[in-house]
Structure 1
């Protein structure tokens, strides 16, 4: 498993790790039952704090992406891609609602917001 950390990113390191593992699960690179590196091993490979990796693994476990078995390690859990995709759609919906509220707060009309949306889609 290849994880790349961008130290100049505004995104916290634990979120970068979490997002890359989720992406690997969605793309099928990581499959149910695959073993993840130990917290210490991954921290050493990435040259970051073990607490940062632990926070990422804890978040992944809370979201149902991994299962940790004490003394054995962390493994990719069974997750349906539809369930994961639904979660992503919900995140996008929240972001779009925030963008609409922001546009309306500065006086944009629905037609202007719609036109902007389609302009962005074309890119």
Structure 2
């Protein structure tokens, strides 16, 4: 599992870890039943505190992405494809809410914002 953290990011380290694990699940790099490194091993690999990895794992477990079994480890929880898509849409909605708020703060009109979306959406084709 490849996780890259940045000390220059505005996001806390545990959030960076959590979001990257989610991305691995969304993209299929991590599948149902896959074992994750122990909190201690991941902390050592990333050179962060065990508290940081513990927080990321606990949040992911509370959100239903991971399951932990005492003495066995932490594993990717089973997700149905429609549930994964729902999670992805929810994440997109959260991102969109932040972007709209920022757009309003800088004075973008709704039409300007939609035009920007069209430009970026068409640019990805």
Fold equivalence (TM over 0.5): yes
Q: Decide which structure has the larger Cα Rg and report it.
A: 1
Kindly indicate whether residue 68 of structure 2 is the aligned counterpart of residue 68 of structure 1. yes
Please report how far the alpha carbon of residue 18 of structure 1 lies from its aligned counterpart in structure 2 after TM superposition.
1.0
Taking structure 1 as the reference length, the TM-score comes to 0.81
Query: How do 1:1-123 residues align onto structure 2 when only pairs under 5 Å count?
Result: 1-97=1-97, 99-100=99-100, 103=103, 109-123=109-123
Taking structure 2 as the reference length, the TM-score comes to 0.80
Of the structure 1 ranges 16-25 and 59-68, higher mean CA displacement relative to structure 2 is found in 16-25
Partners of 2:29 and 2:4 lie apart in 1 by: 15
Shift in CA distance, 67/120, structure 1 to aligned 2, threshold 3 Å: same
Q: What stretches of structure 1 of length at least 5 have no aligned partner?
A: none
Partners of 1:16 and 1:82 lie apart in 2 by: 25
Instruction: Please identify runs of 4+ aligned residues in structure 1 that moved more than 6 A.
Output: none
Task: Let me know the Cα RMSD of the aligned residues.
Answer: 2.3
Q: What stretches of structure 2 of length at least 5 have no aligned partner?
A: none
Of the structure 1 ranges 28-37 and 56-65, higher mean CA displacement relative to structure 2 is found in 28-37
Aligned residues: 123
